[in-house]
Amino acid sequence: MDTTLPRLTLPLSGLSCASCARRVERAAAGVPGVATATVNLAAETAEIAYDPGLADAARIAAAIEAAGYGVPEERLVLNIDGMSCTSCQGRVERALAAVPGVLGVAVNLATGAAEVRVARGAVDTDALVAAVQAAGYAARPDGIRPVSQRFGSGTAILVLCLVLTAPFLLDMAAHLAGHHLLPAWLQLALATPVQLLGGARFYRAAWAGLRARAGNMDQLVAIGTTAAYALSVWHVIAGGPLYFEAAAVVVALVHLGKWLEARAKHGAAEAIEALRRLRPEWAARIAADGSEERVPAAALRPGDRVRIRPGESFPADGTVEEGETEADEALITGESRPVAKSPGDPVTAGAVNGAGLVTIRVTAAGEGTVLARIMRLVQSAQASKAPVQALVDRVAAVFVPVVLLIALVTLTGWLAAGADHATAIVNAVSVLVIACPCALGLATPAALVAGTGAAAQRGVLIRDAAALERARGLDTVVFDKTGTLTEGRLSVVAVAGDPDTLRLAAALQQGSEHPLARGVLRAAEAEGISLPAVQGFRAAAGRGVAGTVEG
């Protein structure tokens, strides 16, 4: 056996006897490139030696599953920085897919997020981060970056570029009328900060691509604008036409495009952050001696007892042990009315407790809660690819080298035809800048991110991009109940019986926080009714309120 081959340990499920182990071994060994496969029945794992050039974890896992057994998996989300086009996306996907134990990768260019399916316990997050860094990009093992950081980081540079580029636009308009507003030295002064400060991000990304021996859209921007700027600087010294406005405008417009892209990401991230904020950061855990301790909600574990006060959100999934209350579970059911909860009833993390004080026994916490699964659904939908994107990816993968080749042919063709160097360079630069940015590679993922994010903010969860694409063919939408279509703001539409009924009912509801009570109080306020005092007010969870009004 070749001991130099890398070894992979995969978890297994569905094994019941030695013959199961042998069938898994034969299935794994049948994959081209697998040298040996040994199953540990007691540990339910398979240790596999394989040639990475011929086999990978995904193919081996598929062969095991085809034999009737399972390979338990988990999903990890990484934030990727430095991607600028679909070529970058493809390199990151290939780098992550090459890590032993990775079963599948989906990188979303618009969100900068990579969802990685890995064999449970077989892959260390640090290995994924290192693989991305080796490809020339930065990665962080965190599902969501701070929205303000992601959205606002490029605003200052964008404003600088736009302010310094505006005079060029005025000069171009004046040039059409036969006037020149900007002397050469002023054009140089305006264009230099745009090229050096605004272009810095393109230079960094272009250099990262070169180190990874791959092309990206930033290289097109960097080469094109640098050529136009350098030629103009030379013409300031030696005399000749200036093209500072071409370089400055391209840098400013690409920055504007990046800012608009970040704005779309901002909305999508906010949708998930809004879900994340539903779960409180802290919880009141009850210790074994009955005392109460304040702990982070992330520290809760199944079996813990937690006390929830009126108006607080439930920090974990669980069942009510003590007390009665009502819980607002609109995030799960879409129903605006609170649901009565008594001992034995289930509660969901993120739901809002009503007027009762309750103690719950935690059944699921952290990433195991229903709320966490909803967040993962939204993230998975944003990271998934629609069928149309497969075509986009194939085209964009060769886009950069083809554009560079066309620009080179343009340059040599004009020189061969006897044109001067300035004309040849300007025409080659035109080819480069026309191709910037790669709208083809960005439009589809950006649209998917914006669509899934906007839907999540409105309570509609889209499970994958393919479903969103198929939705364009829908002609009928059927809802299972009307509660999901209501405003969630109850109101009084009619009052029957004694005209004084509304006044008395509203007076009684003054001490209640129930949505029905708020609806009655709004109706009384709209009528300008003065409410009398209430004696002996009491509320019964799920049953209403009682008290004495005017004797």
First to last CA, the chain: 94
CA dist 315 and 300 (Å) reads 8
Going by C-alpha positions, the residue among 63, 23, 64, 18 that lies closest to residue 42 is: 18
Residue 287 and residue 362 share a domain: yes
316 located within any domain: yes
109 located within any domain: yes
Q: Name the domain boundary from 368, 391, 422.
A: 368
SS3 state at 497: coil
117, pLDDT greater than 90:
no
Residue-level pLDDT at 445? 63
- Max distance between CA atoms of the chain, in angstroms, equals 106
- 349-371 residues labelled b (16+ CB within 10 A) or e (exposed): bbbbbbbbebbbbbbbbbeebbb
**Pick from 179-193, 217-231, 351-365, 404-418: least confident:** 217-231
318, pLDDT greater than 50:
yes
Structural domains of the chain, count: 4
CA dist 114 and 107 (Å) reads 4
Residue 79 and residue 56 share a domain: no
Model confidence band, residue 269 (pLDDT cutoffs 50, 70, 90): low
Residue 353 and residue 296 share a domain: yes
- What is the domain range of residue 14? 7-66
Label residue 201 exposed, middle or buried (CB < 10 Å: 0-12, 13-18, 19+). buried
The set of residues, in sequence order, having a beta carbon less than 8 Å from that of 517 and lying 6+ positions away, is 509, 545
- Helix or strand (DSSP H, E) at 83: none
DSSP state of 312: P
CA-derived radius of gyration, the chain: 31
Residue 514 and residue 535 share a domain: yes
Tokens of 546: 């009682």
Residue 144 and residue 80 share a domain: yes
Q: What share of the chain is helix, strand, coil (3-state, %, to 5)?
A: 50, 20, 30
- The predicted-structure confidence for 8-34, as pLDDT tens digits, reads as follows 888 888 887 888 888 889 998 888 988
403 located within any domain: no
Going by C-alpha positions, the residue among 181, 349, 204, 198 that lies closest to residue 277 is: 349
Q: What is the CATH number of the domain that holds 127?
A: 3.30.70.100
- The predicted-structure confidence for 426-452, as pLDDT tens digits, reads as follows 888 888 777 655 555 556 666 766 777
Higher pLDDT, 397 or 66: 66
CA dist 131 and 272 (Å) reads 27
Residue-level pLDDT at 523? 84
The set of residues, in sequence order, having a beta carbon less than 8 Å from that of 437 and lying 6+ positions away, is 84, 85, 217, 221, 254, 257, 258
Residue 114 and residue 82 share a domain: yes
- 154-174 residues labelled b (16+ CB within 10 A) or e (exposed): beebbebbbebbebbeebeee
Q: What is the CATH number of the domain that holds 531?
A: 3.40.1110.10
Tokens of 22: 């042998």
Q: Are 306 and 359 in contact (CB under 8 A)?
A: yes
* Rounded average pLDDT over 317-336: 82
Q: Are 198 and 157 in contact (CB under 8 A)?
A: yes
* Rounded average pLDDT over 167-185: 84
Residue 136 and residue 112 share a domain: yes
Starting at the earlier edge strand, list the strands of the sheet with 45-50: 7-11, 45-50, 34-40
482 located within any domain: no
Residue 351 and residue 286 share a domain: yes
112 located within any domain: yes
DSSP state of 30: T
Total residue count of the chain as it appears in this document: 551
420 is catalytic: no
* Rounded average pLDDT over 72-78: 84
Tokens of 535: 């004696």
Q: How far is CA 377 from CA 2, 242, 374, 465, in A?
A: 42, 53, 5, 11
276 located within any domain: no
CA dist 473 and 476 (Å) reads 9
Dihedral sign from CA coordinates of 323, 324, 329, 333: positive
Catalytic residue among 2, 126, 475, 480: 480
Q: Return the percentage of the chain with pLDDT > 70, whole number.
A: 82
The set of residues, in sequence order, having a beta carbon less than 8 Å from that of 355 and lying 6+ positions away, is 310, 325, 326, 512, 513, 514, 539, 541
